[in-house]
Structure 1
Amino acid sequence: MEDVFIECSPGISGDMLLGAFYDLGVPKEVIEQPLIDLGLKDLYQIDFKESKSCSIRGIKTKVESIDCSPIKRTWKSIKELILNGHLEENLKKIIYGVFESLAIAEGKVHGIKSDDVHFHEIGAIDSLVDVIGVCAALNYLNPKKVYCNEPILGKGFVQTEHGKLSVPAPAVIELVRQKNIKVLSHCNSIEGELSTPTGIALLVNLVDYPEPPSRYSINSYGVGIGNLKFPFPNLVRVYKITSFNNASFNDNEQISPKREEIIIQEAWIDDQTPEDISNFVEKLRNEGAYDVSYQAINMKKNRIGFSIQAILPIEKKEFFRRLWFDYSNTIGVRERTQYRWILLRRRGECSTIFGNIKVKQTLKPDGSIIMKPENDEVLRLNLEHKISTYEIRKIIKESSKKFRAFENWK
């Protein structure tokens, strides 16, 4: 099974991405079938034509609206259309996610509930075709992983049904903020919308890794051409690749180690008691910190203080940011985004001569599995049997038989 790499060159839009997938070899009937299933067949005509941008060839997508209805689509109506449609469940989930993120972003921008959002350009039939078609194309290719590079957003102004708006569009800014996407800022001298709300919404929902793999081979590629004229090629490329970032192991094609984005938050505090620091550290752990460490340090005026560092889930960074100010005396927190590589693990229980005990399995890069009893179980058996913890671990290892998993590898 191959991976997919979406190259924003320099930006991203739904029609360019759809053209690139078609050029890559996704059949037109695959793109159109979910549109037919949703009852949209008679509202549009789609055409894929050879085109060029600065002498580079590719496919330009043209969607002509034959929708005569004056009704403006809302997120509520699009939601009902998707949920009531006869679509494959995985495809339905992908399409729903793209439109939901757009609705949440638009709701935030306009200060209303997402269900009350009236889609204008996004609710037009050409945008529906772009979003649903791209989702169908990716579902058809069924890649193991989807990568992308950082897009450029553009500058200047664009004419919309809301009137003249500055670029990046407000919904683009909100999507980038919500999903913590990294974007590039060069080409600032170029006026124009390089990345559209539809394009960014597709990117944030379809991509697993927001940067290219460090090593990969290109098996095939497709090029989608945009409508705007720039002094450089205005295109999106989609590659089928074989990436070599990770290695696959075991029959279920699990990836171990896996890369994960995390947040590091830290502060130095010199005006709080050790008891209060201990309580705060425990609060961080109880609220879901991956790990917390702290140590005594010498600070200004020779005061003894504490250096506290927490490794946190990236999606909870704002929550933990508030905890520092609510439960500690610090007046500032340092924060940085990092990546970590972790071995897959899962919890379960194993039968031993002590009975069933809780254990954790870890999947090594060579495919072998290491099993370790939970420390609470070792301490319990130590008290019950008056045997050293070393002996208990040894007996568990030698007598362990059937393992029953409580969860999937993660």
Structure 2
Amino acid sequence: MGTIAYLDCPTGIAGDMCLGALVNAGVPLEYLQDIVHKLGLDREVKLWTESVYRGGIQATKLHVELLNYVGNEPPTVAATDSHEHSHDHTHSHSHDHDAHNHGEHSHSHDHHHEVNTHKVHRHLPDIEKIIRNAKLSAQVEKWSLAIFKELAIAEGSVHGIAPEAVHFHEVGAIDAIVDIVCTCAGFAWLEVEKIYCSALPAGGGYVNCDHGKMPVPAPATLKLWELHGVTTFDNGIRKELVTPTGAAIAVTLSEKFGKVPLMKIKKVGLGAGSQDLEIPNALRLWVGKSKSKDKKKD
């Protein structure tokens, strides 16, 4: 059978956590940096990783470093999407997924859904043009465009405007483009045909964004869950655990949410969030072969 993947998200999901898990599962960092080059962003973005411990468990923390960054936050995106998630949006990305700081990446997620790092507001057509001009594989392009489309639909619904009119704060930020496209490229490198996802933790508390203080889940995240009937649960952590970018990746690429599919596991990749939480802050990517119930053991 074909290769499938399961996103096990006990402490949520954000773009940098996905990338860390993919690299930990064997996707070469050089391959992802080449994707950045194809996007025409290699003079602005550098990817690097480090081995960290979350709750005593070793995982890979991927950093999206903005080389021409100007602002008050650190240039490392990983600090913001850190699930604190202060969301994805506007990522002032300093992805500090420490707690996910999603900012988007700050899984605290520390997200500071702040205004985007470069204060560049792009519309969906602008982002689609960047992706189409990158000469990516057909599958990577299809997945990437679909994720941004879902995000635009959710944001547009929240703000009462057409998807094409949405100003992507964090989403339009360079790091968000890198997160989404490189995540799709990573799954393609692993030759994953189908993706499944666990139920997602609701999180709690509040995050700051361009529109002020917002309750967690962030409006766009909650809208994505509503539109796709996502299964959620409460893990007791009162932080932003799922960023809009992470939610968009999950709802777009996943076949369904919930139980682990019948599979023969070949490898597991752990992508760290930025902060230490009560539960090891890492997304666990299970990669393996699909198994049908009537198949004999290989």
Q: After TM superposition, is the score higher than 0.5?
A: yes
Instruction: List aligned pairs for 1:150-189, cutoff 5 A.
Output: 150-187=199-236
Does residue 89 (structure 1) correspond to residue 138 (structure 2)? The answer is yes
Contact 1:76 1:116 in 2 (8 A): no
SS for the counterpart of 2:196 is strand
Does residue 56 (structure 1) correspond to residue 57 (structure 2)? The answer is yes
Q: CA deviation at 1:90?
A: 1.6
Tell me, which stretches of 5 or more residues in structure 2 are unaligned? 70-117
Instruction: List aligned pairs for 1:316-395, cutoff 5 A.
Output: none
Does residue 142 (structure 1) correspond to residue 191 (structure 2)? The answer is yes
Q: CA deviation at 1:214?
A: 5.1
Contact 1:121 1:161 in 2 (8 A): no
Q: CA deviation at 1:246?
A: 5.2
**Aligned-partner residue type, residue 289 of structure 2:** T
Does residue 195 (structure 1) correspond to residue 242 (structure 2)? The answer is yes
Look up the match of 2:263: 216
More strand by share: 1
Give the TM-score, by structure 1 length: 0.57
Structure having greater relative contact order (Cα 8 Å, sep ≥ 6): 2
> What is the number of equivalent residue pairs in this alignment?
246
Q: How far, CA to CA, are the matches of 2:212 and 2:121 in structure 1?
A: 16
**Aligned-partner residue type, residue 33 of structure 2:** E
Describe the superposition over 1:245-282 as per-residue Cα deviations: whole angstroms up to 9, x where unpaired. Answer: 4568xxxxxxxxxxxxxxxxxxxxxxxxxxxxxxxxxx
Look up the match of 2:274: 227
Contact 2:231 2:258 in 1 (8 A): no
Instruction: List aligned pairs for 1:61-76, cutoff 5 A.
Output: 61-67=62-68, 70-76=119-125
Look up the match of 1:334: none
Contact 1:82 1:96 in 2 (8 A): yes
Q: How far, CA to CA, are the matches of 1:246 and 1:162 in structure 2?
A: 50
Instruction: List aligned pairs for 1:117-136, cutoff 5 A.
Output: 117-136=166-185
Look up the match of 1:114: 163
Look up the match of 2:252: 205
SS for the counterpart of 2:269 is strand
**Aligned-partner residue type, residue 173 of structure 1:** L
Q: How far, CA to CA, are the matches of 1:60 and 1:48 in structure 2?
A: 6
Q: How far, CA to CA, are the matches of 1:185 and 1:89 in structure 2?
A: 37
Describe the superposition over 1:132-190 as per-residue Cα deviations: whole angstroms up to 9, x where unpaired. Answer: 11010011112232222101021101122332211000000110011111111342xx2
SS for the counterpart of 2:188 is helix
Q: How far, CA to CA, are the matches of 2:212 and 2:274 in structure 1?
A: 20
Instruction: List aligned pairs for 1:19-58, cutoff 5 A.
Output: 19-58=20-59
Q: CA deviation at 1:115?
A: 0.8
Tell me, which stretches of 5 or more residues in structure 1 are unaligned? 249-410
Contact 1:19 1:223 in 2 (8 A): yes
Q: CA deviation at 1:67?
A: 4.0
Q: CA deviation at 1:66?
A: 2.4
Q: How far, CA to CA, are the matches of 2:245 and 2:289 in structure 1?
A: 27
Q: How far, CA to CA, are the matches of 2:138 and 2:290 in structure 1?
A: 28
More helix by share: 1
Q: How far, CA to CA, are the matches of 2:214 and 2:136 in structure 1?
A: 35
Q: CA deviation at 1:9?
A: 1.7
Contact 1:121 1:160 in 2 (8 A): no
Q: CA deviation at 1:3?
A: 1.7
Does residue 7 (structure 1) correspond to residue 13 (structure 2)? The answer is no
Q: CA deviation at 1:93?
A: 0.6
Q: How far, CA to CA, are the matches of 1:15 and 1:56 in structure 2?
A: 18
Describe the superposition over 1:174-225 as per-residue Cα deviations: whole angstroms up to 9, x where unpaired. Answer: 10011111111342xx220011111111011111232334543322111011
Aligned sequence identity (%):
34
Contact 2:21 2:285 in 1 (8 A): yes
SS for the counterpart of 2:213 is strand
Q: CA deviation at 1:128?
A: 1.6
- The RMSD of aligned alpha carbons is 1.8
